[in-house]
Amino acid sequence: MEKIKIQGMTCQHCVMSVTKALTTIAGLKDIRVNLVKGEATFENTQNISLENIRKTIEDAGYKVVE
Ligand SMILES: [Cu+2]
């Protein structure tokens, strides 16, 4: 299970947008986005690079923070 911190989510709509963005990356399974914690967890079954994940989330309008 991998965990990333995401900045900019303010409501359930944001959660849906981030979830949807992550869903477009083949190889990410069991995606869970937590609004209160500002984080997302997932199984990275194909070793997708953090750079790819970061870009996808930024394209959706949010920011991945370390
Ligand atoms: Cu929102």
pLDDT for the residue 29: 98
Q: Residue 60: count other Cβ atoms within 10 Å of its Cβ.
A: 17
List of domains in the chain: 1-42 (3.30.70.100)
Assign 3-class secondary structure to 21-66: HHHCCCCEEEEEEECCCCEEEEEECCCCCHHHHHHHHHHCCCEEEC
Contact between 61 and 17 under an 8 Å Cβ cutoff? The reply is yes
Local confidence pLDDT in tens for the 66 residues of the chain: 999 999 999 999 999 999 999 999 999 999 999 999 999 999 999 999 999 999 999 999 999 997
The number of beta carbons lying within 10 Å of the beta carbon of residue 19 is: 15
pTM (2 d.p.):
0.94
**Residue 52 CA, ligand 1 centroid: distance in Å:** 22
What pLDDT sits at residue 28?
98
Residue 28 CA to ligand 1 center (angstroms) comes to 22
How many angstroms does the Cα of residue 60 sit away from the middle of ligand 1? 12
